[in-house]
Chains A and B, each alone.
Chain A
Amino acid sequence: MLRKEIRDALKRLVESLVALVVIPFAYIGDKLISRAGLDYKSLLQSGFVVTLLIFSFYSGATVFQSERKDRAFEYLFSLPLTRRKIILAKVLPRFGFLLLLGGAATLVVGRGLLEEAGITCLLLFCSSLFLSIGVFSILINLFGVGLMYIIYLEGHLPLSSALPKFGVNLTSRHGFLIADFISLAVLLIPFGAAFWLTFKNMDARPVKLQLRTYYAIILPTLIILVTLIVAYTRAHPLGS
């Protein structure tokens, strides 16, 4: 099982790395045609960050792709594997390759930029993974991840006014990271719980018939978070 998942994760990685192949062509094209004076190193750095973001999303969103495409949920559930083992076998190789790609990107891009991209990658990976169980289309998953990213960014606003009251200095790098992680956790913990509770009880019935718990957690979470953010934004208009 693990070997198959490693192979699947590797395929997703290779597909994501296609973004890097474009870079030499873009550079040569610039030299020959547009002559905008693009710098190869900065092109490569941007390419690595884009690849990292693509893989973060893509590897999470396609975690059940082989079961869906191959109609193999029934076979998967007939194997003597616990749901926990199945999820670990699926998530660990993908996360491992994400770390590996992140390491490679750090070497090329440098630490500073990667620190900023790191949390975004974590958000993309986890949110696309957690959405993958209830969302069958990659495009809709991407839309959902975009929505979650907006909520994550907007979640900083109430946090930035609340955290200093608890002695967190938001002007420091650590203080800002704390705000990042709290905003991330508020969003991902309910989605993660919805994902796990759904998968833990899942069987070979059509997936659409098994999403009651998933939506029962996700929809109120979204409503509460959006309401809180809207209420905060109205109470504290920009520039006030």
Chain B
Amino acid sequence: MIDIAGLSFSYGKTRVFKDFNLSIPDGQVCLITGINGVGKSTLLRLMAGVLRPDKGAIRFDARLGPDPRRKIGFISDSLSLYESLTVSEAIALHKSAYGLPAIDDALIRHTKIGSGQKVRELSIGQRTILHLELVLSLAPEVFLIDEIIHSIDAYLRRIFLEQIVQLLAKRRLTVVMVNVNFHDIEHLVERVILLKSGEIAVDETIDALKAKVKKVSSRSAPDSLYVLSRIDYEDHSDFFVYPFHEGLRGTLGGEIRDLNLTEIVSAFIGGEYA
């Protein structure tokens, strides 16, 4: 369980969160999304303990121990590591800081990362895999992943996602992902949280969200429905509506289509920019 209560946080004079509350139960795979700069990565960093709230608290399940960082695997978009160290030195540092007996470097070897290579010489994909290996070595209870997986090639992304799937199959891992592109993670996600101006604008299970957001293609805007965003064509417009319910199906003119997660989030985010 991750329990965020009364959280306030600012970067200098720029306020990101004010009295923010969120609860994520154990074992849930949660996706946080929203427009750029809304505070998604900041929220992840606050959960990881690398940022400290100005006010409020973030509490974890007691089984994570007095210092939850021991059981939090955090892969940030900055991929922060000591870049002047070699891969083997970075692993040794990680091992000693966490008091780990050993770190399995199978992924590193598999992806042809040399142990004598400096971290700064690695590509973004290789650094992501190194991070993943370090994080997996903790046997994390909470896994926080920023949107870095979109910067890596298809093969490494597949390896990355396979590792998460394997972890989820082994135990009740809580996963919080920050993302704007979802085609390869949609099947993992259980809950979607959309942030807007430092607050939760949408908080739904993925099934509920898919049932409530639809695309209506027609010549005119549907009455009595809130349109998140629209795309205009010569002969018709696509209206992304929310909340939709099945009782409306017969009353709306035009074609009604289901949406995948990427389209749903694009519709919400498109509305923000409109």
A interface residue numbers (CB < 8 A to B): 1-4, 66, 69-75, 77-81, 201, 203-206, 209
Contact = CB atoms under 8 A, between A and B. Distances in A.
B81 A1 contact: no
Contacts of A209: 11-12
Given A3-B92, A209-B12, A77 B49 contact: yes
Given A4-B85, A72-B82, A204 B97 contact: no
B12 A78 contact: no
A72 to B, nearest CB: 5
B85 A71 contact: no
Given A69-B83, A78-B48, 11 more contacts: A2-B96, A66-B82, A70-B83, A72-B82, A74-B80, A75-B80, A78-B50, A80-B70, A203-B52, A204-B51, A204-B80
Interface string B223-258: 000000000000000000000000000000000000
Contacts of A70: 81-85, 119-120
Interface of B: 11-12, 45, 48-52, 67, 69-70, 72, 74, 76, 78, 80-85, 89, 92-94, 96-98, 119-120
A201 B45 contact: no
Contact of B11 (A2, A75, A81, A205): A205
A73 B69 contact: no
A21 to B, nearest CB: 24
28 contacts: A1-B96, A2-B96, A3-B92, A4-B82, A4-B85, A4-B89, A4-B93, A66-B84, A69-B83, A70-B82, A70-B84, A70-B85, A70-B119, A72-B81, A72-B82, A72-B83, A77-B49, A77-B50, A78-B50, A78-B69, A78-B74, A79-B98, A80-B69, A80-B70, A80-B97, A201-B52, A203-B50, A204-B50
A74 B67 contact: no
A8 to B, nearest CB: 9
Contacts of B89: 4
B97 A79 contact: yes
A74 B78 contact: yes
